[in-house]
Structure 1
Amino acid sequence: MEWMTGALCARADPDLFFAVGTAGPTLREELAAKRICVRCPVLRPCLAWALDSGQAHGVWGGTNAEERAALRRRRGPGAPRAPLSTAAH
Protein backbone atom coordinates (compact mmCIF):
# COMPACT_ATOMS: atom_id res chain seq x y z
CA MET A 1 0.00 0.00 0.00
CA GLU A 2 2.74 2.34 -1.04
CA TRP A 3 0.12 4.75 -2.40
CA MET A 4 -0.78 5.76 1.17
CA THR A 5 2.41 7.80 1.52
CA GLY A 6 1.07 10.28 -1.04
CA ALA A 7 -2.41 10.57 0.48
CA LEU A 8 -3.54 14.05 1.48
CA CYS A 9 -5.57 12.60 4.34
CA ALA A 10 -2.32 11.60 6.04
CA ARG A 11 -1.86 15.29 6.83
CA ALA A 12 -5.46 15.85 7.98
CA ASP A 13 -7.37 15.10 11.15
CA PRO A 14 -8.35 11.39 10.99
CA ASP A 15 -11.59 12.15 12.84
CA LEU A 16 -12.71 14.06 9.75
CA PHE A 17 -12.66 10.83 7.74
CA PHE A 18 -14.33 8.71 10.43
CA ALA A 19 -17.08 10.97 11.75
CA VAL A 20 -19.75 9.27 13.86
CA GLY A 21 -23.41 9.92 13.14
CA THR A 22 -25.69 10.55 10.19
CA ALA A 23 -26.64 14.23 10.34
CA GLY A 24 -25.51 17.75 11.14
CA PRO A 25 -21.82 18.00 12.01
CA THR A 26 -21.13 14.50 10.68
CA LEU A 27 -22.35 15.42 7.21
CA ARG A 28 -20.25 18.58 7.24
CA GLU A 29 -17.18 16.56 8.26
CA GLU A 30 -17.86 14.00 5.52
CA LEU A 31 -18.11 16.75 2.91
CA ALA A 32 -14.88 18.31 4.19
CA ALA A 33 -13.16 14.91 3.93
CA LYS A 34 -14.45 14.42 0.38
CA ARG A 35 -13.12 17.86 -0.59
CA ILE A 36 -9.68 16.67 0.48
CA CYS A 37 -10.13 13.42 -1.47
CA VAL A 38 -11.06 15.22 -4.69
CA ARG A 39 -7.65 16.94 -4.71
CA CYS A 40 -5.74 13.81 -3.64
CA PRO A 41 -3.26 12.30 -6.13
CA VAL A 42 -4.03 8.77 -4.88
CA LEU A 43 -7.83 8.92 -4.97
CA ARG A 44 -8.17 6.01 -7.44
CA PRO A 45 -5.91 3.49 -5.66
CA CYS A 46 -7.46 4.50 -2.34
CA LEU A 47 -10.96 3.80 -3.62
CA ALA A 48 -9.89 0.53 -5.24
CA TRP A 49 -8.26 -0.60 -1.99
CA ALA A 50 -11.33 0.34 0.05
CA LEU A 51 -13.58 -1.62 -2.30
CA ASP A 52 -11.30 -4.64 -2.47
CA SER A 53 -10.76 -4.78 1.30
CA GLY A 54 -14.42 -4.16 2.16
CA GLN A 55 -13.96 -0.97 4.19
CA ALA A 56 -17.32 -0.45 5.89
CA HIS A 57 -16.59 2.80 7.70
CA GLY A 58 -15.19 6.19 6.88
CA VAL A 59 -14.44 8.17 3.76
CA TRP A 60 -12.07 6.39 1.37
CA GLY A 61 -11.34 7.44 -2.18
CA GLY A 62 -13.93 10.20 -2.00
CA THR A 63 -16.78 7.86 -1.05
CA ASN A 64 -18.64 7.02 2.12
CA ALA A 65 -19.67 3.51 3.20
CA GLU A 66 -23.04 3.62 1.41
CA GLU A 67 -21.50 4.81 -1.84
CA ARG A 68 -18.88 2.04 -1.72
CA ALA A 69 -21.57 -0.56 -1.03
CA ALA A 70 -23.42 0.62 -4.15
CA LEU A 71 -20.20 0.42 -6.20
CA ARG A 72 -19.57 -3.13 -4.94
CA ARG A 73 -23.11 -4.17 -5.88
CA ARG A 74 -22.62 -2.77 -9.39
CA ARG A 75 -19.34 -4.66 -9.75
CA GLY A 76 -20.98 -7.89 -8.66
CA PRO A 77 -19.42 -10.83 -6.83
CA GLY A 78 -16.19 -12.11 -8.30
CA ALA A 79 -16.12 -9.38 -10.94
CA PRO A 80 -12.68 -8.43 -12.16
CA ARG A 81 -11.46 -5.12 -10.91
CA ALA A 82 -12.17 -2.50 -13.53
CA PRO A 83 -11.28 1.18 -13.60
CA LEU A 84 -13.69 3.13 -11.45
CA SER A 85 -15.22 6.49 -12.07
CA THR A 86 -13.84 8.98 -9.57
CA ALA A 87 -16.22 11.83 -10.13
CA ALA A 88 -16.44 14.21 -7.21
CA HIS A 89 -19.35 13.64 -4.85
Structure 2
Amino acid sequence: MSDTTRLPGAFEHHWSWQVEGACRTVDSSVFFHPTNERGAAAKHREQMAKSVCARCPVLAQCRQYAIDVREPYGVWGGLTEDERRVLLARRRRRHSRAFA
Protein backbone atom coordinates (compact mmCIF):
# COMPACT_ATOMS: atom_id res chain seq x y z
CA MET A 1 0.00 0.00 0.00
CA SER A 2 1.26 3.51 -0.81
CA ASP A 3 2.35 5.76 2.03
CA THR A 4 -0.22 8.55 1.74
CA THR A 5 1.33 10.58 4.58
CA ARG A 6 3.83 11.90 2.04
CA LEU A 7 1.19 13.06 -0.43
CA PRO A 8 1.16 16.82 -1.00
CA GLY A 9 -2.53 17.28 -0.19
CA ALA A 10 -5.62 18.32 -2.10
CA PHE A 11 -4.05 21.21 -4.00
CA GLU A 12 -4.95 20.82 -7.66
CA HIS A 13 -1.61 22.15 -8.88
CA HIS A 14 0.13 19.16 -7.24
CA TRP A 15 -1.92 16.72 -9.33
CA SER A 16 -2.67 18.51 -12.60
CA TRP A 17 0.36 16.97 -14.33
CA GLN A 18 -1.46 13.61 -14.34
CA VAL A 19 -3.95 14.68 -17.00
CA GLU A 20 -1.06 15.12 -19.42
CA GLY A 21 0.36 11.63 -18.90
CA ALA A 22 0.91 9.48 -21.99
CA CYS A 23 -0.33 6.54 -19.92
CA ARG A 24 -3.89 7.90 -19.79
CA THR A 25 -4.65 6.32 -23.16
CA VAL A 26 -3.00 2.96 -22.37
CA ASP A 27 -4.48 0.01 -20.48
CA SER A 28 -3.15 0.16 -16.90
CA SER A 29 -2.25 -3.55 -17.05
CA VAL A 30 0.83 -2.48 -19.04
CA PHE A 31 2.16 -0.70 -15.94
CA PHE A 32 1.23 -3.20 -13.22
CA HIS A 33 2.21 -6.86 -13.23
CA PRO A 34 -0.36 -9.59 -12.83
CA THR A 35 0.06 -12.18 -10.09
CA ASN A 36 2.90 -14.61 -10.76
CA GLU A 37 4.28 -12.79 -13.81
CA ARG A 38 7.97 -13.63 -14.19
CA GLY A 39 10.85 -13.73 -16.63
CA ALA A 40 10.47 -12.77 -20.25
CA ALA A 41 6.79 -11.83 -19.88
CA ALA A 42 7.61 -9.37 -17.08
CA LYS A 43 10.52 -7.85 -19.02
CA HIS A 44 8.35 -7.46 -22.12
CA ARG A 45 5.53 -5.75 -20.21
CA GLU A 46 8.01 -3.46 -18.43
CA GLN A 47 9.62 -2.49 -21.75
CA MET A 48 6.19 -1.69 -23.18
CA ALA A 49 5.43 0.51 -20.17
CA LYS A 50 8.81 2.23 -20.37
CA SER A 51 8.27 2.96 -24.07
CA VAL A 52 5.08 4.83 -23.13
CA CYS A 53 6.96 6.69 -20.40
CA ALA A 54 9.77 7.59 -22.79
CA ARG A 55 7.40 9.74 -24.86
CA CYS A 56 5.55 11.20 -21.88
CA PRO A 57 5.63 14.98 -21.38
CA VAL A 58 5.30 14.60 -17.59
CA LEU A 59 7.83 11.80 -17.02
CA ALA A 60 9.85 13.82 -14.48
CA GLN A 61 6.80 14.76 -12.40
CA CYS A 62 5.53 11.18 -12.45
CA ARG A 63 8.91 9.78 -11.39
CA GLN A 64 9.23 12.30 -8.59
CA TYR A 65 5.73 11.52 -7.37
CA ALA A 66 6.45 7.78 -7.25
CA ILE A 67 9.68 8.37 -5.34
CA ASP A 68 8.16 10.90 -2.93
CA VAL A 69 5.27 8.64 -1.91
CA ARG A 70 7.34 5.43 -2.12
CA GLU A 71 4.93 3.95 -4.67
CA PRO A 72 5.38 0.19 -4.16
CA TYR A 73 3.88 -1.10 -7.42
CA GLY A 74 4.13 -0.59 -11.13
CA VAL A 75 6.13 1.41 -13.62
CA TRP A 76 6.01 5.12 -12.80
CA GLY A 77 8.13 7.74 -14.52
CA GLY A 78 9.91 5.04 -16.51
CA LEU A 79 11.11 3.15 -13.44
CA THR A 80 9.95 -0.20 -12.07
CA GLU A 81 9.34 -0.71 -8.36
CA ASP A 82 12.72 -2.46 -8.08
CA GLU A 83 14.52 0.38 -9.87
CA ARG A 84 12.91 2.93 -7.56
CA ARG A 85 13.89 0.88 -4.52
CA VAL A 86 17.53 0.78 -5.69
CA LEU A 87 17.50 4.53 -6.37
CA LEU A 88 16.13 5.27 -2.90
CA ALA A 89 18.68 2.94 -1.25
CA ARG A 90 21.53 4.73 -3.06
CA ARG A 91 20.19 8.10 -1.94
CA ARG A 92 19.95 6.90 1.66
CA ARG A 93 23.53 5.60 1.57
CA ARG A 94 24.80 8.88 0.09
CA HIS A 95 22.84 10.86 2.63
CA SER A 96 24.08 8.79 5.57
CA ARG A 97 27.72 9.11 4.39
CA ALA A 98 27.33 12.87 4.07
CA PHE A 99 26.31 13.09 7.72
CA ALA A 100 28.73 10.48 9.06
TM-score when normalising by structure 1: 0.81
The residue that corresponds to 2:38 in the other structure is 22
The residue that corresponds to 1:86 in the other structure is none
Q: Identify the structure with the greater helix proportion.
A: 2
SS in 2 for 1:48: helix
The CA distance in 2 between the partners of 1:31 and 1:72, in whole Å, is 21
- Structure 1 residues not aligned, in runs of 5+: 80-89
Aligned-residue RMSD, C-alpha = 1.4
- Structure 2 residues not aligned, in runs of 5+: 1-14, 96-100
Percentage of matched positions with identical amino acids? 35
The residue that corresponds to 2:27 in the other structure is 13
5 Å-filtered alignment, 1:43-58, equals 43-58=59-74
The residue that corresponds to 1:38 in the other structure is 54
Following superposition, the deviation at residue 19 of structure 1 comes to 1.8
May I ask how many residue pairs the two structures share in their alignment?
78
TM-score when normalising by structure 2: 0.72
Moved over 4 A (4+): none
